[in-house]
Amino acid sequence: MKKKSELALAFTVGATGFAAHAGGGFATGNQANTYFVSLRWVSLFSAVLAMVILALTVREGQILWNRSHANSYKE
């Protein structure tokens, strides 16, 4: 049972991150048109850069979390 709950938690976190990144423009196609059609090659660079910045921010938060031995977000 623990394995299922860990998988569900990982999926939930991933889905939330995707939804926060993609937003409402993803469903309508507006985001793809704006970034990948009109900006051309710059769009690929900016998308990769945004993901790198996001990953580094999350990594730093996890390092701080582990360094302070926190057990919850409140701590």
Number of structural domains, the chain?
A: 2
54: CB partners within 8 A, 6+ apart = 17, 21
Please tell me the pTM assigned to this model: 0.50
**Do 28 and 53 fall into the same domain?**
no
What per-residue confidence (pLDDT) applies to 2? 61
**Do 31 and 51 fall into the same domain?**
no
**Do 14 and 29 fall into the same domain?**
yes
Range of the domain at 47: 40-75
Q: How confident is the model at residue 61 (pLDDT cuts 50, 70, 90)?
A: confident
**Do 21 and 48 fall into the same domain?**
no
In the chain, count of helices (H) and strands (E)? 4, 0
**Do 33 and 55 fall into the same domain?**
no
Give per-residue pLDDT as tens, 3-48: 667 788 888 888 777 777 766 666 666 776 776 677 777 877 877 8
Q: How confident is the model at residue 65 (pLDDT cuts 50, 70, 90)?
A: confident
What per-residue confidence (pLDDT) applies to 57? 93
**Do 32 and 58 fall into the same domain?**
no
